[in-house]
Amino acid sequence: MDKLVPAFQLLGIGFYVVVCIAGGAGLGWWLGGKKPVFIIIGLVIGLILAFYGAYRMIRPLIDSNNKQDKGNG
């Protein structure tokens, strides 16, 4: 069961990334009325938020894994 918890956390990170990217592009499409400039700006903002949020979510998993490795080695 201990192996499932990180798997669900990674699944949540993937969902977060998809929502940020699609939400940014969708918001750009809504604001710009199908103008590519706004879609690209929304997409870039969504990508930045996705990478930053994913980094913030993955960092504790990496840190806890490193602590476990040091404790076993």
Residue pLDDT, tens place only, 2-59 = 677 777 888 899 999 999 999 999 999 999 887 899 999 999 999 999 999 999 988 9
Amino acid type, 52: Y
Model pTM score = 0.78
Cα separation of the two ends of the chain: 23
Burial of 26 (0-12, 13-18, 19+ CB in 10 A): middle
